[in-house]
Amino acid sequence: MIFQIDFPSSPAWLVLIAIIVVTWWYIDARRPHGMPPGPFPYPITGSMFDLIGDIPPQKTFKRMSETYGDVFSIKLGSLWAVVVNNNELVHEVLLTKTNEFSGRPSTFGFDWYTDGKKDIATAQPTPIWKHHRMLAHSAIRKFASGEYLESVTEEIRPVWQTIMTEKLKGPFDPHDVIGFAIYNLIATMCFGHRYEANDPRLNKIMKTSRQCIEGFVGWTADYIPWFRHVPNPYFYRFKRCAAEFTSLIVKEVESHVESFDPDLPAKDFLDIVLKSQREVEIEDTVPVENRLTSMHIQQLVANIFHAGVDTMTTTLLWGIASLIDNPDVQEKVKKEIDRVVGDRPPRLSDRGKMPYTEATIMEIMRYKTAVPLALFHKALVDTTIGSYKIPADTIVIVNLWALHNDPKYWQSPEKFQPERFLDSTNTVKQRLPSFLPFSTGRRVCVGESFAKANVFLTFVWLIQNFIFSKPEGVDSPVAVPDKPGLVTVPKPYNVLAKTRNT
Ligand code: HEM
């Protein structure tokens, strides 16, 4: 007997397919029970298209929170995320429940780049991550404490001076000058040798590192897993430049390991790390399986470049942009520098005596939050935020930008006012609520002390030596909409500079 199926005629087919698709979409779009409300997701992409465009996601999230509440859920591709937009709830996530929310989501791009999360920033909080982070933290703190950092900055300052002097003839984009200074500092700190203004090695590190950072904005395959099987020329390009950047780092790390002598005093960051690693081996303080491999050390250096350079460069670029918009603030900072520092190079010990300058730097970090959404966290267990249920594996996004612009804590948050960080006795206010430029809790920025110290030394040196102003007829760079990205980098702008003694 011949088996026969009666296929429905074509309109019936279409109706059947439509019913299946709509049912699947409805089931797929349903939030897990108890999760906070949020926008209804589209099939396959979820709400990803709402986040593409000229408006940075932190602002779109803030606008969504006005409809759905301070914590809401959103589907990114096939993954659920919750976005937290106010100080109390962010503290619950980052401090009260820091262990529950200290995971990192798996992403296709980062997982490939970090050789399966052998870095600090994207790794899950495992014992080896803990050891890696502790080692990096103590080495960075040691470096930031004064002696090392001051000597490195003083060593490379003549190169900056030369580059800046070439720029005094007319308007220029400060991005490359500041970027070069910070790359030079980080490379000198890590590898122990300084680079001249046109050193091709540094230019290559700068170029390839920047290309990698551009690739970190996220890949569709991070959120829609089957997309990783779709050929993507951008990803191939990213892989090529990532391989080039990694090979530069590997060369430096290998030559350090070869020439390392534990009996000599450490002269750079890699020496400090290798020395601590040697101590761990001799004293047997860390189980063998949790010790670092050369891949971990290579990833640590890559993390320092990628997490440190753009953030510090951006902070300084927003600093110059804010001061050319507020010449009165620039003048007050300069007066304080004259009073405390005079003509000698700035030192870290000056910080405590310069409240106005400190307050100005804090206001720059609030006004233009460099890392507006921190790095994405992940719930490691079933837990809660406020009265909502958060299932394990949910991506958790803390909107630091929303905290820094919350009118409940900041009067006229859209205005640049360093005075808001000073109390009535002209002392810098410490531990302000709703102010977390470096995040907090278990995943707080490892480079916080180093970044604060270096931004202070560079900012003071720039204002001590140059007067910055806006070229005629040019829009204020702070008023131009921010460029979306992991780090809020200003759109290219021009500035005029003249030396103080002319
Ligand atoms: C003004 C400069 C900087 C700002 C505003 C900044 C801000 C941040 C923020 C918001 C995070 C995310 C924390 C979280 O996910 O909750 C972070 C993570 C991180 N930062 Fe920074 N950062 C700066 C400079 C640096 C520097 C100079 C370094 C290295 C020397 C560095 C290394 C890292 C690392 C390794 C992480 C990952 C920490 C982890 O996942 O455990 N950062 N930073």
Ligand 1: distance of its center to the CA of 147 in Å? 22
Give the per-residue pLDDT at 9: 66
Tell me what pLDDT residue 216 has: 67
Three-class SS of 183-197:
HHHHHHHHHCCCCCC
For atom 12 of ligand 1, which residue has the closest CA?
374
**d(Cα 389, Cα 368) in Å, to the nearest integer?**
32
**Number of the ligand 1 atom closest to the C-alpha atom of 129:** 41
| Ligand 1 pocket member 304 (CB < 6 A) | yes
Specify whether the CB–CB gap between 325 and 478 falls below 8 A: yes
Q: How far is the CA of 138 from the centre of ligand 1 (A)?
A: 15
Residue 19 forms part of a structural domain: no
Give the distance (Å) from ligand 1 centre to CA of residue 334. 29
**What is the Å distance from ligand 1's center to 315 Cα?**
13
432 is a domain residue: yes
Q: Cα separation of 280 and 71, whole Å?
A: 43
What is the CA(491)–ligand 1 centre distance, in A?
22
Q: Is 263 domain-assigned?
A: yes
Q: What backbone phi and psi angles, to 5 degrees, belong to 497? A: -135, 140
| Cα 339 to ligand 1 centre (Å) | 33
CB distance 297 to ligand 1 below 6 Å:
no
pLDDT of residue 5: 56
Which numbered atom of ligand 1 lies nearest the CA of 315?
A: 1
Mode of pairing for the β-strands spanning 466-469 and 395-398 = unpaired
- Establish whether residue 370 lines the binding site of ligand 1, counting it when its CB lies within 6 angstroms of any ligand atom: yes
- Residue 24 included in any domain: no
* Number of domains observed in the structure of the chain: 1
Atom of ligand 1 nearest to the CA of 377: 15
Is residue 409 domain-resident? yes
In angstroms, rounded to a whole number, what is the distance separating the alpha carbons of residues 444 and 305?
A: 17
**Tens-digit pLDDT string for the chain (502 aa):** 455 556 566 777 788 888 888 887 777 778 899 999 999 998 888 998 888 888 899 999 999 999 999 999 999 999 999 999 999 999 999 999 999 999 999 888 888 888 888 999 999 999 999 999 998 998 888 888 877 888 888 888 888 888 888 888 899 999 888 988 898 888 888 888 778 777 888 788 888 887 777 766 677 778 888 888 888 887 888 888 888 888 888 888 888 888 888 888 888 888 888 888 888 888 887 888 888 888 899 999 999 988 898 899 999 999 999 999 999 999 999 999 999 999 999 999 999 999 999 999 999 999 999 999 999 999 999 999 999 999 999 999 999 999 999 999 999 999 999 999 999 999 999 889 999 999 999 999 999 999 999 999 999 999 999 999 999 888 888 877 777 778 888 888 999 999 876 5
Instruction: Determine if ligand 1 sits within 6 Å of the CB of residue 46.
Output: no
436 lines ligand 1 (CB under 6 A): no
What's the 375 CA to ligand 1 centre distance in angstroms?
9
Return the half-sphere exposure (C-beta side, CA atoms, 13 A cut-off) of residue 38.
28
Q: Is residue 225 part of a domain?
A: yes
Give the position, in ligand 1's atom list, of the atom nearest the Cα of 303: 35
Q: Is the CB of 397 under 6 A from ligand 1?
A: no
Q: Is residue 172 part of a domain?
A: yes
Among 99, 132, 140, 445, which residue has the most ligand 1 atoms within 8 Å of its CB, making it the best to mutate?
Answer: 445
Closest atom of ligand 1 to 376 CA is 15
Residue 69 region, left (φ>0) first, then alpha (ψ -120 to 50), else beta? left
Q: Tokens 């399966």 identify what position?
A: 116
> Residue 342 domain-assigned?
yes
* Ligand 1 atom with minimal separation from the 140 CA: 30
What separation in Å is there between the alpha carbon of 447 and the centre of ligand 1?
A: 6
Can you give the residue range of the structural domain that contains 486?
Answer: 30-499
Distance, CA of 280 to CA of 302 (rounded, Å): 23
Q: Residue 53: its pLDDT value, please?
A: 82
- In the chain, the amino acid numbered 465 is N
